[in-house]
């Protein structure tokens, strides 16, 4: 028997390794591999020949384990941007990260064009406070270039003891020259759910989907319903902007909190028998009160599962800009004492059967966020379709995503203010409130 954990997410969190979305641990038979063809064996012999020639003839004595790890990473990176090998330490760090606490800078990253690209800084972390932005490219660490490093190696260099400094060299679109930012490492404790009353509206922000998210959502709803009188509560805003993903079972539970029945998400692998469907259970935690979900170009994977499920069932109105578009599932396959393999094994589909891979979720109401003058031309729209080697969309035209900027000042947050105005009846739009009878059949 083999333990496998399925992931859906994008990037790698500094101080951990893995992006993100797990459906929990499942015990599965290893299955029977197809017999390799004679041509495959010839190719494997070729690999063995090259390996031995490097070991015997390279100008310096190479480290065998390093050669093999690099070869494995090369094989996996040729598949798609999200498949990779995790050495034992990285695998342990990933397990810690999904529990919501880890050491590091507080940024989610991926590798693109041989440099580290920031997917999203995490709220209230050293990286965010230092001014790191989504889309920034980190080209050097303490003066040493990251070119030639694997993502895992770059992440390892960004880790270190708490209260030590790391100087990152950043290349930002729209700037003429790279610039340096010094960040002090800290223990990062992720509060994945934050909330407060907006007078007569409950505001809930979900920053990622870790093991604490559903419990945090339950606490948020209970406290907001206690703070806002029932006869005054207009509804809820669920803010998934810049949420890069997390645990699949948590995304399902969050979706289920607002749905009374019907499919939430399905995953489909290469073989017909690999399909899994996840359904809602009876009961709506907020008794059918209106919901508006905010998304942008930083909303990926697990966030898109929630947005897609609530959109297809017409349970919530999706407002903002197009989401990231990561619709693939990674399975973490432990390799005993040798770490783990993160392998893309399936695509996921919304209840209406939509694959959002390289497309994203289009909002019901599009509201662009105005960039401040100092950021104009310095941030770019981003999405899965812009990643080199990404899985192609199953059908139709691919989309490049959207901006992922959210102002710190809520008064200047045009997307949030639009949601509040709709809930209060100060704005009118045909997409709000949605008509549940027009949703997918239950």
Q: Tell me, yes or no, whether 292 and 415 share the same domain.
A: yes
Q: The tokens 């760090």 sit on which residue? A: 93
225 vs 222: CA distance, rounded Å: 5
pLDDT value, residue 20:
32
- How far the first Cα of the chain sits from its last, in Å, is 36
Which positions of the chain have pLDDT values less than 70?
1-36, 97, 99-102, 442
Report whether 206 contacts 243 (CB < 8 A).
Answer: yes
Q: Tell me, yes or no, whether 9 and 65 share the same domain.
A: yes
pLDDT value, residue 22:
35
Q: Tell me, yes or no, whether 221 and 132 share the same domain.
A: no
Question: Does 312 participate in catalysis according to the annotation?
Answer: yes
196 vs 222: CA distance, rounded Å: 12
Q: By three-state DSSP, how is residue 53 classified?
A: helix
Tokens of 374: 């100092």
Of 367, 357, 354, the residue nearest 324 (C-alpha): 357
398 vs 302: CA distance, rounded Å: 19
Residue 334 inside a domain? The answer is no
Q: Tell me, yes or no, whether 78 and 101 share the same domain.
A: no
Q: Tell me, yes or no, whether 264 and 293 share the same domain.
A: yes
Q: By three-state DSSP, how is residue 86 classified?
A: strand
Active-site option among 152, 326, 355, 386: 326
Q: Tell me, yes or no, whether 66 and 115 share the same domain.
A: no
Residue 335 inside a domain? The answer is no
Q: Could you please report the per-residue DSSP string of 205-223? A: EE--B-TTHHHHHHHHHHH
Report whether 359 contacts 396 (CB < 8 A).
Answer: yes
Following CA atoms 39, 45, 50, 51 in sequence, which dihedral angle do they give, to the nearest 10 degrees? 130
Longest dimension (CA), the chain: 79
Active-site option among 253, 301, 303, 323: 301
13 vs 285: CA distance, rounded Å: 31
Q: Tell me, yes or no, whether 95 and 81 share the same domain.
A: no
Residue 71 inside a domain? The answer is yes
pTM of the model: 0.77
Report whether 300 contacts 324 (CB < 8 A).
Answer: yes
pLDDT digits (tens, 9 = 90+) for 247-298: 889 999 999 999 999 999 999 999 888 899 999 999 999 999 999 999 999 9
Q: Tell me, yes or no, whether 162 and 295 share the same domain.
A: no
Of 205, 146, 113, the residue nearest 14 (C-alpha): 146
Q: Which of 144, 168, 189 is the last residue of a domain?
A: 189
Q: Could you please report the per-residue DSSP string of 371-404? A: PPGGGTTTS--B-GGGSTTPPPPSSS-----B--
Full residue range of the structural domain in which residue 115 is found: 90-189
Of 247, 329, 298, 368, the residue nearest 118 (C-alpha): 298
Q: Tell me, yes or no, whether 276 and 413 share the same domain.
A: yes
In this structure, are strands 201-206 and 193-198 parallel, antiparallel, or unpaired?
antiparallel
Of 326, 324, 317, the residue nearest 415 (C-alpha): 317
In this structure, are strands 2-9 and 328-334 parallel, antiparallel, or unpaired?
antiparallel
CA angle 399, 405, 411 (to 5 degrees): 135
CATH of the domain at 377: 3.90.226.10
Q: Which of 189, 216, 231 is the last residue of a domain?
A: 189
pLDDT value, residue 35:
56
CATH of the domain at 130: 2.30.42.10
Cα 196 versus chain centre, distance: 24
Q: How many domains does the chain have?
A: 3
Q: By three-state DSSP, how is residue 170 classified?
A: strand
Q: Tell me, yes or no, whether 152 and 246 share the same domain.
A: no
Residue 56 inside a domain? The answer is yes
**b or e along 288-326 (b: 16 or more beta carbons within 10 Å of the residue's beta carbon)?**
ebbbbbbbbbbbbbbbbbbbbbbbbbbbbbbbbbbbbbb
Q: Tell me, yes or no, whether 21 and 165 share the same domain.
A: no
DSSP H or E segment with residue 67: helix 64-77
Residue 342 inside a domain? The answer is no
Q: Tell me, yes or no, whether 198 and 223 share the same domain.
A: yes
203 vs 194: CA distance, rounded Å: 8
Q: Which 8-state DSSP code applies to residue 29?
A: -
Active-site option among 312, 323, 355, 386: 312
Tokens of 277: 């469907």
Q: Which of 189, 218, 243 is the last residue of a domain?
A: 189
200 vs 230: CA distance, rounded Å: 9
Contacts of 377 (CB under 8 A, 6+ apart): 173, 174
Question: Does 234 participate in catalysis according to the annotation?
Answer: no
pLDDT value, residue 55:
95
Report whether 241 contacts 415 (CB < 8 A).
Answer: yes
């Amino acid at each position: 028997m083999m333990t496998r954990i399925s992931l859906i997410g994008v990037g790698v969190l500094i101080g951990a390794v893995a992006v993100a979305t797990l459906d929990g641990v499942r015990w599965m038979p290893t299955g029977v591999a197809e017999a390799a063809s004679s041509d495959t064996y010839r190719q494997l012999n070729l690999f063995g020949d090259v390996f031995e020639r490097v070991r015997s003839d390279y100008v310096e004595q190479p480290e065998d384990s390093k050669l093999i790890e690099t070869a494995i990473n090369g094989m996996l990176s040729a598949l798609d941007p999200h498949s990779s090998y995790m050495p034992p330490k990285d695998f342990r760090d990933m397990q810690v990260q999904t529990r919501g606490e880890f050491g590091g800078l507080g940024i989610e990253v991926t590798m693109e064009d041989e440099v580290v690209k920031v997917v999203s800084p995490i709220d209230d972390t050293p990286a965010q406070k230092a001014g790191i932005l989504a889309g920034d490219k980190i080209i050097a660490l303490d003066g040493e270039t990251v070119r030639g490093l694997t993502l895992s190696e770059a992440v390892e260099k960004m880790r270190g003891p708490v209260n030590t400094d790391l100087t990152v060299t950043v290349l930002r679109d729209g700037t003429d020259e790279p610039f340096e930012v010094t960040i002090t490492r800290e223990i990062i404790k992720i509060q994945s759910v934050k909330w407060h009353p907006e007078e007569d509206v409950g505001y809930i922000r979900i920053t990622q989907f870790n093991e604490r998210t559903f419990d945090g959502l339950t606490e948020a709803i209970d406290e907001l319903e206690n703070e806002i009188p029932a006869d005054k509560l207009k509804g809820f805003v669920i803010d998934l902007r810049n949420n890069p993903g997390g645990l699949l079972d948590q995304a399902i539970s969050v979706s289920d909190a607002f749905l009374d029945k019907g499919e939430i998400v399905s995953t489909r692998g290469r073989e017909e028998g690999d399909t899994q469907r996840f359904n809602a259970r009876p009961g709506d935690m907020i008794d059918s009160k209106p919901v508006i979900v905010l998304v942008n170009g930083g909303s990926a994977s697990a966030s898109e599962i929630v947005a897609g499920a609530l959109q297809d069932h017409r349970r919530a109105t999706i407002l903002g800009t197009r989401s990231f578009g990561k619709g693939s599932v990674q399975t973490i396959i432990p390799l005993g004492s040798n770490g783990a393999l993160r392998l893309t094994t399936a695509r996921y589909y919304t209840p209406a059967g939509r694959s959002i891979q390289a497309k994203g979720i289009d909002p019901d109401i599009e509201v662009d966020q105005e960039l401040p003058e100092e950021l104009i031309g310095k941030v770019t729209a981003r999405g899965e379709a812009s990643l080199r080697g990404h899985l192609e969309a199953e059908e139709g035209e691919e989309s490049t995503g959207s901006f992922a900027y959210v102002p710190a000042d809520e008064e200047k947050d045009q997307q949030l203010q639009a949601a509040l105005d709709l809930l209060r009846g100060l704005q009118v739009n045909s997409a709000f409130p949605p008509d549940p009878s027009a949703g997918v059949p239950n």
